[in-house]
Amino acid sequence: MKLERKSLLMVLACALLALGTAQGASAQMMDKLAKTTPQERAGIQTAYMKSKLGLAGPELAKVEAINMKFAEQADPIIKGSDGPFMKMRQMEAMQKEKDTALQGVLTPAQFKTYQASRAEMKQKFEEAIAKKAGQGQ
């Protein structure tokens, strides 16, 4: 995989983590996510979480399985014909389920770090969307 594609996937995976609560997601972001596979999205999310949370061993394997399960569940939503707002609503509900699953695997400190990271990504994502909207693109 080229570095450029890895960078794009990292941005998209981070956006996907943030999308669970981001109301202003653009159709363009969903279009880009639709061009990725569940395996790519889950792999990038797992790698990101591994580095941010210090995951290893059985804990890492469990998080990887959770990320894969929810990436597969998200695929028909991402690639579906519903509008961006409806997709976001569906992703929000799914993110709550994913958070519950992760809470059962991560330590309280890791889960807190995970939530803080998601909040930070959400803010950056929303700022990027707002900036793009301000530019008229």
77-102 confidence digits (pLDDT tens): 988 998 878 888 898 899 999 999 99
Sequence spans of domains, the chain:
3-123
Looking up tokens 């803010």, which residue turns up? 123
Round the average pLDDT of the chain to a whole number and report it: 81
pTM of the shown model = 0.77
The rounded distance, in Å, linking the Cα atoms of 52 and 128 is 22
H-assigned helices in the chain: 3-19, 27-34, 38-53, 57-79, 84-103, 108-134
Q: How many CA atoms lie within 13 A of 122 on its CB side?
A: 16
Taking the chain, what is the end-to-end CA distance rounded to the nearest angstrom? 29
Measure the CA–CA gap between 45 and 41, rounded to whole angstroms. Answer: 6
DSSP state letters, 35-49: TS-HHHHHHHHHHHH
Lowest mean per-residue pLDDT among 4-18, 95-109, 113-127: 4-18
**Calpha distance 75→68 (Å, rounded):** 11
Q: Which tens digits make up the pLDDT trace of 19-54?
A: 544 444 456 666 777 888 999 999 999 999 999 999
Give residue 127's pLDDT band: very low, low, confident or very high (50, 70, 90): confident
Q: Residues of the chain with pLDDT > 70: what percent?
A: 73
